[in-house]
Each structure stands twice: as C-alpha cells, then as structure tokens.
C-alpha cells in the first residue's frame, strides 16, 4: 500500500464517519496528517498488508481505527483508553498525540493482527431487510421458509425475529408507515437458519467478540447495547446445536453451499439474504453471485427470493437500499422496495411490494417436515431446554 492510496481511502472514509463518529473523525484527521508528513509507522502497516488489495474505499483506514479501538478495549493500550467513550474516555486536546505515539511504538503483535483483520461489523438491526421481505412474501401465505445469510459475520441478523424491531418504518414522504401484518411476530416460521461467511465469527470466543464490538466504532453506544443484547440471546439460542448453522466459504461458493444444505420443497420457501456484505465484491464478483443465486433459487419457483440490504452499487449514496430479486418467467428481476433514510434506524418503505405476490396457485399451508409449527406469542423466546 502506498501513502497516497491510503490518503485517498482516508478522504473517502472521513466523509462517512464525519457525521457518525466524532472520535473516529478526529482520529482519522490525526492519522492522515501523520501519513502526509511521512511518519515511519506507516511503513510497518504497509509491510503488514503486503500486496493485499481493498475492494472498498473505506476498508483499510477503518481497519486501522478499529484495531486501535480493539487494543484499548482488550486492555492492550492503556494510553488509548482515555480517548474512547466505550472505555469511559473522551477525545481531548492532545489525544491526537496519544494515537500517533501509540502507532510509533506499537508492538509487532498489533501489526500482525491488523494484517488479517476484516471488517466484520455485525448489526442485528440490519435483519430489518429480511423481516420486511418475509412479511410480504411468506407470512401472508403461511409459508414456512429457510433463511440463508451470506456474509453473516457472527450470524446476528439470523435471529432478528427474536429481537426487538429497532427500525421505524416511514413512507417515502417521511410520514409514519403502517407496519406490515406479522412484523412483530416472535419468531417467524423459519425452518432452518444458515449463515455463510469467509470467516464466520465465533461469539463464544471473547477475543473475536471484542473485535466485533471494536468494529461498531467508539461513539455508538446504542449499537453496542444492541450488539450485547443480541449476542447474549444468540449464545443462548445456539445451545441448541440444530438452531443455526454457520458455514465457512467465500461468496463465489455460497449459492452452491446453500443449494447443498437446503433441499427444495413444494410447500416451503427460501430467502437468501445479505446485508452490508457484497460491498466487498467488485462488479464481476457481484454479477457472478447474482447468477449463482438465481440458479440456487430456480428449483423453488415463486417461493424463492433474494433480498439484499446494501448500499447502492454505483456508490450514489451511503444509505442502505432494500433490493429484492426473484425469477419471473425465467428472468431474474430486481426491485428496490425500501431505503434507509439517513436517520439512525429509520427505513422508508417504497411502493411496488406487489412484486412479491405469489405467482401461481398457492398450496394450502401445512406443517412441514418434522418441525412443529411455531406459535409463540409475540414477546416470548424459544430457549433450548435448560437455557
Ligand atoms: C460488514 S460485515 C456484515 C455482517 C452482517 N451481514 C451484518 O449486516 O451485520 C461483512 C461480512 O462479509 C464477509 N465477507 C467479505 N468478503 C467476503 C468474501 N469474499 N467471501 C465471503 N465473505 C466475505 C466478511 O467476513 C464479514 O463478516
């Protein structure tokens, strides 16, 4: 990595963190200034990353900021704890010097760890995308369905139906929108839950969990609380080994892994999901993934959908869009059905949801396979025995 490339990435990131994280904004300024004036620590970072390429403009500087945050959270950088609100600290005059001093003297282990780091922020709130789509496509038909989450990190979005609904819904005119029927059901009729990731995060491992917490950023108290609550519930639910499956594989192999893990059934649906994940694919990689997903959905007829909660691929905005794709008369068609508004945890529901209506005659609902029908009242959780 060259200094100029990192400075360009840093500029892109500063536009993003500016409104979101005052602490990272200040840190980024300090780091970029230090790189500009030729600070020697940059060479250690560049050596650690070697020939690694970054497909998104915000990844490299984000990883450095998160690794600093991680070092403080993990108790490995007492001098940085004073800076981070998550460690009860606060950015003050002179904090920039603490950051640069730390980088100048950082132990080899800091750079070794940074070398392999990936952005793996896992926000259970982003489950809103698959919940909304399921409410339109499956729940009105009483159709139980399988859920596969691509780029799942630790898998927290897979349990979104067990967690409070954090997104508020508006119309495209910013008026409050009606919630769809079943929106607050707990749980949804999910038959299997499968998360796929190049490196799935194990929440039972404290160090891996701390990395996810670091990735939330230092000024995100709400996000941290949401993460802790979701992680606790996730660990309890996972005591049932059949509750959820995590599979390690790269994006290009995911559609095939999903097809191998979940056999089509005439009275079940399949929802393939990804949120804030395919940003790490270039255009060709995303097109190949779409082709693979279309192939995996084909045997499911009008009961298979692909739901993406991602930023627009043309980078015209940093707000997530809800894009849904399905096969219609042999063509894979896509609609944008909702849009994050820029206000935290707010989603504008657009028109066109008719796109998810059944295309053929619906089979009568039935209780599929050996799984008992889930009829838990909203607000109750199904814990494994002894949980
Ligand atoms: C920012 S996290 C998002 C996690 C989760 N979907 C959410 O919304 O909270 C992106 C995830 O995509 C995974 N990922 C990135 N590139 C990948 C690739 N080429 N193959 C498989 N997984 C990848 C990362 O490991 C990471 O866990």
Q: Is the pLDDT of residue 367 over 70?
A: no
CA torsion sign for 50, 197, 163, 306 is positive
Task: Give yes or no for residue 124 CB within 6 A of ligand 1.
Answer: no
Q: Which atom from ligand 1 is nearest to the alpha carbon of 124?
A: 9
Q: Is the pLDDT of residue 261 over 70?
A: yes
What is the distance in A from the centroid of ligand 1 to the CA of 202? 14
Q: What mean pLDDT is predicted for residues 253-263?
A: 97
For 124-181, how does the pLDDT look when each residue is reduced to its tens digit (9 = 90+)? 999 999 999 999 999 998 899 999 999 999 999 999 999 999 899 999 999 999 999 9
Q: Which residues, in sequence order, are CB contacts of 144 under 8 Å at separation 6+?
A: 138, 189, 190, 191, 267, 268, 269, 367, 368, 371
Residue of the CA atom closest to atom 2 of ligand 1: 120
Query: For residue 30, what pLDDT is reported?
Result: 97
Give yes or no for a contact between 341 and 307, defined as CB atoms under 8 angstroms apart. no
Q: What's the CA dihedral at 22, 93, 110, 42 to 10 degrees?
A: 90
Pocket test for ligand 1, best of 274, 280, 320 (most atoms within 8 A of CB): 280
Task: Give yes or no for residue 256 CB within 6 A of ligand 1.
Answer: no
Task: Give dist(CA 225, CA 8) in Å, integer.
Answer: 33
Task: Give dist(CA 185, CA 187) in Å, integer.
Answer: 6
Residue of the CA atom closest to atom 9 of ligand 1: 122
Task: Give dist(CA 334, CA 305) in Å, integer.
Answer: 10
From 316, 305, 322, select the one nearest 359 (Cα to Cα).
305
Domain over 124-356 is classified CATH 3.40.50? yes
For 21-79, how does the pLDDT look when each residue is reduced to its tens digit (9 = 90+)? 999 999 999 999 999 999 999 999 999 999 899 988 899 999 999 999 999 999 999 99
Task: Give yes or no for residue 75 CB within 6 A of ligand 1.
Answer: no
Sheet of strand 304-310: strand arrangement: 168-170, 346-349, 331-340, 321-328, 304-310, 269-275, 145-150, 190-197, 245-248
Which residues share a beta bridge with 270? 146, 304
Structure tokens at 191: 């038959």
Task: Give yes or no for residue 153 CB within 6 A of ligand 1.
Answer: yes
Q: Is the pLDDT of residue 309 over 80?
A: yes
Task: Give dist(CA 294, CA 333) in Å, integer.
Answer: 10
What is the distance in A from the centroid of ligand 1 to the CA of 282? 14
Residue with tokens 């191998």, as numbered in its chain = 260
Q: What stretch(es) of the chain map to CATH 3.40.50? A: 124-356
Task: Give yes or no for residue 286 CB within 6 A of ligand 1.
Answer: no
CA torsion sign for 282, 284, 285, 291 is positive
Task: Give yes or no for residue 280 CB within 6 A of ligand 1.
Answer: yes
Q: Is the pLDDT of residue 387 over 50?
A: no
């Amino acid at each position: 990595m060259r200094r100029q490339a990192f400075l360009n990435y840093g500029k892109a990131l500063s536009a993003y963190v500016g409104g979101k994280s005052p602490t990272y904004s200040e840190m980024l300024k300090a780091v970029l200034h230090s790189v500009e004036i030729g600070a020697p620590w940059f060479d250690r970072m560049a050596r650690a990353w070697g020939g690694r390429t970054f497909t998104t403009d915000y990844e490299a500087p984000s990883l450095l900021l998160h690794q600093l945050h991680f070092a403080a959270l993990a108790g490995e950088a007492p001098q940085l704890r004073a800076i981070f609100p998550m460690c009860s600290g606060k950015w003050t005059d002179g904090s920039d010097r603490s950051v640069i001093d730390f980088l100048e003297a950082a132990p080899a282990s800091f750079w070794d760890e940074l070398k392999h780091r990936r952005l793996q922020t896992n926000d259970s709130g982003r489950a809103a995308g698959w919940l909304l789509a399921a409410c339109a496509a499956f729940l009105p038909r009483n159709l139980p369905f399988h859920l596969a989450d691509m780029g799942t990190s630790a898998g927290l979005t897979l349990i979104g139906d067990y967690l409070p609904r954090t997104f508020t819904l508006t119309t495209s005119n910013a008026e409050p929108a009606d919630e769809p029927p079943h929106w607050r059901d707990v749980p949804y009729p999910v038959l299997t839950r499968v998360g796929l990731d190049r490196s799935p995060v194990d929440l039972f491992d404290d160090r891996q969990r701390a990395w996810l917490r670091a990735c939330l950023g230092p000024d995100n108290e709400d996000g941290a609380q949401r993460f802790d609550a979701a992680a606790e519930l996730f660990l309890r639910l996972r005591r049932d080994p059949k509750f959820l499956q995590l599979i390690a594989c790269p994006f290009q192999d995911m559609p095939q892994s999903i097809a191998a893990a979940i056999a089509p059934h005439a009275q079940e649906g399949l929802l393939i999901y990804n949120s804030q994940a395919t940003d790490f694919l270039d255009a060709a990689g995303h097109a190949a993934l779409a082709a693979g997903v279309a192939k995996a959905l084909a045997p499911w007829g009008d009961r298979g959908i692909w739901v993406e909660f991602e930023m627009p691929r043309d980078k015209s905005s940093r707000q997530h869009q809800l894009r849904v794709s399905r096969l219609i008369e042999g063509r894979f068609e896509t609609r944008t059905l909702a849009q994050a508004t820029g206000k935290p945890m707010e989603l504008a529901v657009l028109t066109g949801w008719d796109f998810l209506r059944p295309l053929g005659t619906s089979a009568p609902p039935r209780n599929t396979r050996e799984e008992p029908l889930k009829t838990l009242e909203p607000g109750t959780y199904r814990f494994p025995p002894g949980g």
